[in-house]
Amino acid sequence: MHQTLTSDSFSCLELPTYVSMIMRTSPMISVIVAAHDLQGQLESCLRSILNQSFRDLEVVAVLDQSPECPANVVDDYAQRDGRVSVVRLKGVVGIGRIRNAGAEHAAGDYLLFLDSDHIVRDTTLQAMADQLQATDEPDVLLFGHTRLHHRRSWHGAAAELIAQQGRESFAPIDLPELFGAPAYSWDRLFRRDMWTRQHLSFPDGLYEEVSAVHRAMLAADRIGVLKWNCVQIRRRLTQHPADAPGGTHFDVFARYEESFGLLQERTALDALTPFLFTRMIRHYLFLLNLEGCLSRAERPRFFQRASEHYRRFLPDGYERPDGREGVKFQLVASGMYSAFEAARLPQLARGFVSRGATVRGG
C-alpha cells in the first residue's frame, strides 16, 4: 500500500517495504481530467480527487481553447496543490486529443481518465491502489460506477458482471462477457507502460472510447477487478459534452470496424466476437432510439449502416437476445427501415403520453 511517509514511519516498516517505497520517483496513479466544464462541476471533481486519503497521485488537467474550459479554476488548484499540473492545447481539439495530451504528460504507473462531471467516491483511490497490489499490478483494473441524474442514481451496465468476479486477475479470453459491456475509459485504470508500449490513443471524432478501450483490453496480459462503485458520473448520457470538431454520430461505425478488425487479426479470440457483436447492435439501437441524436434525414442512412454491419460481422451460430430486444435485432438484420420505424410507434406514443402527463402534473 502506498502512503506518505513521516520520520516516525520508518521504525514500523520492514526493510523490503522501506526500500520499495523510497525508490519510488513517480506517483502510482495519474488522474487525467478533461477540463470542459459545461455544468460548473469541475471544482467538485477536483476536490473529490485531491481530498482523498490516498496521496500517491497526480492530477493532469487538460484545457483546450474552448470557452467551456475555465483556466482560472484549474490554475488556482495548481497553485494550491503541487500534485496538479496543467496542459494547455491550442484551438478546440475535442476530447480524444485532450485525453491523449494528458496521457503523454502523465508520470504515474496507472492512468485514470475523468471528465469534469465525474466524482471519485470517498476512499476509493486507496481501494484501487490496494487492489492493484493484491492482483500483482495488472495491466487493467476494472471497477464499478454509478450514474446520477435528477437526484436518481443507478448502477452501471457492467455492475452484475463485476460483482460475479473473484479477487484474482485474469486474461481477456477468460471473461469474454466483458466485451458485451460498454467501453468506457473512466471505469478502469490502465497501466501506463502498456498504454505507451502499445501506442494506444483516442481517435478524433465521437465515440472515441470504443476502439481505444477495446484495443487496451486486448493488449492486456492480466485484468483485475475492484468490486467498488468508485466513480459517479453526473449526467444522464455518456456522450462527452466537449465538442469534437468534424465529428458525427456516424463515427461509431468506424470505431466498431476497428474493434472487429482487432479480433479478426487474432483467431484465438473468437469467443469474444458474439459479445462484441451484441454490444455493437445494442449501441446502434440506443442511438436510433435516442431522442434528438439523429436528424430525420440521418436516421435511414444510419439504420442502413447498422444493418450492413449486422450482416458483415454476424458471428457463426449467433443467437439473438430474447423478447422485444431480439425483435429489434431481427429488424436491423432485415434492413427494412420502414418496418423498424413502424415498430417504434407504440414506444413513441407511450413517451409522448408520459411527457404530457408530466407537464400536466407539473
Class of domain 10-233: alpha beta
Which alpha helices (DSSP H) does 124-207 contain, by range? 124-134, 159-163, 192-197
pLDDT reported for residue 5: 33
**Grid cell at residue 247:** 465529428
For residue range 299-311, what is the model confidence (pLDDT) as tens digits?
Answer: 999 999 999 999 9
pTM for the model stands at 0.85
- Outline where DSSP puts E strands in the chain: 29-34, 57-63, 84-88, 110-115, 118-120, 140-149, 152-155, 188-191, 223-233
Which alpha helices (DSSP H) does 204-297 contain, by range? 208-219, 251-264, 273-289
Q: Is the pLDDT of residue 20 over 50?
A: no
Give the HSE-up count for residue 93: Cα atoms under 13 Å, Cβ half-sphere.
20
Q: Is the pLDDT of residue 182 over 60?
A: yes
Find the range with the poorest average confidence among 66-70, 150-154, 193-197, 315-319: 150-154
* β-bridge mates for residue 146, sequence order: 155, 232
Residue ranges per structural domain of the chain? 10-233, 251-361
Q: Is the pLDDT of residue 25 over 80?
A: no
pLDDT reported for residue 356: 42
C-beta atoms surrounding 20 within 10 Å: 11
CA pair distance 80, 221, nearest whole angstrom? 39
Q: What's the whole-number mean pLDDT along residues 37-63?
A: 94
